[in-house]
C-alpha cells in the first residue's frame, strides 16, 4: 500500500496548519497487524488524534509529525494484562502523589512491559478509581484500567495470604451470607466504579484448605453482574471451585487451577462449551511441584477451544518481571501467535472492544507495543524486549528514557 501526502491529508481531514504535535509515526518496522495476518516487513504506522491513521510500507508524513526511531523494531497492538492488583504502600495517597511519581510506578509495574490496557482483579477502589481518574483526565500517563473493585469471598473465609494487605481493603470486601446480600454487594460495587465482578469460588483459608463459595450465592452474584452489564471473573483454586464458577455462569477463570486433581477432559469440554476464558497466570505457580500438570491443563484447554487471555497477578506478585510468564506459556506448548492473541485479540474479544482494540489497522486506537526484537525469529523472550509503549498516541514508556516525565 502506497499513500501520498495529499491523499493521506485528505483522508485524515488535516492540513499542515492543524496537524498536532501529538501525531506520531513509527517507521522502518516489522508490523504484525494481528495473529495469523500477513506481516508488513518494512512498514510504518501513523497515529493521529489518538487513533491509527495509516499502516503502510510508504507514507509521506504530515508536517509536524514526531518520528520515533525504530529501525528493526516490531510493532504489535497494545498488550493487555488481564490480572493485576494496585496494592502496596506505594499506591496510598494516590490522589496527592505527583504525576511523575505515579508514572514512574506505572512504568516499573506495567508499561515497561508493553501493557496499554490492564484489568485490576481486586484492589481498594479508593486507590484504583482515583488512579484511573487521573489517567483519564490526562494528568498522568498510564494504561487504560478496568477494575473489579472489591472482590467477593465466601462468608467468613478470607484467603490466608491476604493477612498482610491493608485492613482498609480486607474489611470492606464482600462476604455475603445469602443470595440477597450477594446481589446487593455486587450492585453497590459496580455503582462505585467497578467494571467487573471477582468471585472467590474457592478461597484458600489455610495451606491445603480451600473453602468453596455457596453455589446459590455465586449464582446470585453472577446473575446480578450480568444484569448490570458486567462480566464475572472467578478465582477457582480447585475442581469444586471451577464447578461452582461454571454452574453460576462465570465468564473468566482468573487463574489456571492450582489443584488439578480430578480435572479431566470432560471439565475442559464444559469450559469450551460455555466459552469460559482462562487467565493462566503460570508464573504464580512456577515453583509449585505440579507446575507441569498445570501447564498441561492450559494446553489441553487451549486445544479444546477454551479462550486464553494473558495475565500475571502483577501487584500481588511484587516481582514485576513478566518474562517468566512468557517462558511458562512456551513450556506449556503455546506458539508465538497463541501468546500474541492472548495479549491482543483475545482480551479485546472478551471485553467486546474488537472494533477499536487488538489490531494494528487504520481506525483502531493508537495503542501499540513496540519491541526491539522479533518473537517469531528470537522466541518468547522477545515479548519482554519492549522499546516503546504507546496508548492513544501518547508514549507511556520509552526505553531510551525509561523514567522521563511523559506527561508534558
CATH number assigned to the domain covering 2-77+360-398: 2.30.40.10
Which residues, in sequence order, are CB contacts of 88 under 8 Å at separation 6+?
Answer: 315, 318
Which residues, in sequence order, are CB contacts of 53 under 8 Å at separation 6+?
Answer: 8, 11, 12, 46, 47, 362
Domain segments of the chain as ranges: 2-77+360-398, 98-350
* Angstrom distance (rounded) from CA 324 to CA 381: 9
Q: Read off the pLDDT of residues 245-295 as tens digits, 9 standing for 90 and up.
A: 999 999 999 999 999 999 999 999 999 999 999 999 999 999 999 999 999
Three cell numbers, residue 211: 473453602
Q: Read off the pLDDT of residues 81-92 as tens digits, 9 standing for 90 and up.
A: 999 999 989 999
| Topology (CATH) of 98-350 | TIM Barrel (3.20.20)
Which alpha helices (DSSP H) does 148-290 contain, by range? Answer: 167-170, 179-191, 215-227, 239-248, 265-274
Question: DSSP letter string over 98-138?
Answer: -HHHHHHHHHHHTGGGTEEEEEE-S--HHHHHHHHHHHHTT
Three cell numbers, residue 110: 506495567
Beta bridge partners of 206: 209
Q: Report yes or no: 23 and 64 within 8 Å, Cβ to Cβ.
A: yes
Q: Using alpha carbons, list the distances in angstroms from residue 90 to 126, 182, 210, 249, 252.
A: 14, 31, 31, 36, 29
* Ordered per-residue pLDDT tens for the chain, 408 residues: 333 333 333 334 433 333 333 699 999 999 999 999 999 999 999 999 999 999 998 778 888 899 998 888 999 999 999 999 999 899 999 999 999 999 999 999 999 999 999 999 999 999 999 999 999 999 999 999 999 999 999 999 999 988 777 767 777 899 999 999 999 999 999 999 999 999 999 999 998 899 999 999 999 999 999 999 999 999 999 999 999 999 999 999 999 999 999 999 999 999 999 999 999 999 999 999 999 999 999 999 999 999 999 999 999 999 999 999 999 999 999 999 999 999 999 999 999 999 999 999 999 999 999 999 999 999 999 999 999 999 999 999 999 887 654 444
Are both 2-77+360-398 and 98-350 of the same fold?
no
Q: Read off the pLDDT of residues 55-88 as tens digits, 9 standing for 90 and up.
A: 998 778 888 899 998 888 999 999 999 999 999 8
Amino acid at each position: 500500500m502506497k499513500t501520498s501526502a495529499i491523499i493521506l491529508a485528505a483522508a485524515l481531514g488535516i492540513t499542515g496548519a492543524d496537524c498536532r504535535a501529538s501525531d506520531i509515526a513509527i517507521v522502518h518496522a516489522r508490523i504484525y497487524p494481528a495473529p495469523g495476518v500477513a506481516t508488513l516487513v518494512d512498514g510504518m504506522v501513523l497515529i493521529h488524534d489518538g487513533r491509527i491513521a495509516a499502516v503502510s510500507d510508504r507514507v509521506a508524513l504530515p508536517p509536524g509529525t514526531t518520528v520515533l526511531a525504530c529501525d528493526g523494531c516490531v510493532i504489535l497492538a497494545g498488550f493487555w494484562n488481564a490480572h493485576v492488583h494496585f496494592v502496596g504502600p506505594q499506591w496510598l495517597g494516590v490522589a496527592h502523589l505527583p504525576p511523575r511519581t505515579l508514572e514512574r510506578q506505572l512504568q516499573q509495574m506495567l508499561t515497561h512491559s508493553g501493557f496499554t490496557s490492564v484489568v485490576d482483579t481486586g484492589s481498594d477502589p479508593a486507590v484504583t478509581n482515583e488512579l484511573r481518574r487521573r489517567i483519564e483526565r490526562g494528568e498522568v500517563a498510564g494504561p487504560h484500567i478496568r477494575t473489579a473493585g472489591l472482590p467477593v469471598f465466601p462468608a467468613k473465609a478470607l484467603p490466608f495470604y491476604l493477612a498482610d494487605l491493608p485492613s482498609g481493603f480486607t474489611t470492606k470486601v464482600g462476604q455475603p451470607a445469602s443470595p440477597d446480600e450477594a446481589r446487593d454487594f455486587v450492585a453497590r460495587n459496580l455503582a462505585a466504579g467497578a467494571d467487573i465482578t471477582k468471585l472467590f469460588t474457592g478461597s484458600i483459608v489455610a495451606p491445603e484448605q480451600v473453602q468453596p463459595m455457596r453455589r446459590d450465592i455465586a449464582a446470585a452474584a453472577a446473575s446480578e453482574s450480568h444484569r448490570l452489564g458486567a462480566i464475572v471473573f472467578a478465582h477457582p483454586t480447585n475442581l469444586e471451585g471451577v464447578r461452582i464458577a461454571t454452574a453460576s455462569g462465570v465468564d473468566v477463570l482468573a487463574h489456571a487451577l492450582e489443584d488439578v486433581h480430578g480435572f479431566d477432559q470432560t471439565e475442559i469440554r464444559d469450559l469450551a462449551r460455555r466459552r469460559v476464558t482462562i487467565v493462566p497466570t503460570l508464573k504464580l505457580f512456577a515453583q509449585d511441584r505440579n507446575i507441569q500438570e498445570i501447564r498441561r491443563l492450559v494446553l489441553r484447554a487451549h486445544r479444546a477451544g477454551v479462550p486464553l487471555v494473558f495475565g500475571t497477578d502483577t501487584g500481588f506478585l511484587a516481582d514485576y518481571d513478566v518474562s517468566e510468564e512468557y517462558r511458562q506459556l512456551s513450556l506449556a506448548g503455546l506458539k508465538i501467535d497463541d501468546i500474541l492473541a492472548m495479549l491482543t485479540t483475545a482480551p479485546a474479544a472478551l471485553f467486546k472492544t474488537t472494533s477499536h482494540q487488538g489490531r494494528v489497522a487504520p481506525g483502531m486506537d493508537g495503542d501499540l507495543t513496540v519491541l526491539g526484537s522479533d518473537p517469531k525469529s528470537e522466541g518468547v523472550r522477545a515479548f519482554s524486549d519492549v522499546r516503546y509503549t504507546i496508548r492513544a498516541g501518547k508514549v507511556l514508556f520509552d526505553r531510551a528514557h525509561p523514567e522521563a516525565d511523559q506527561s508534558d
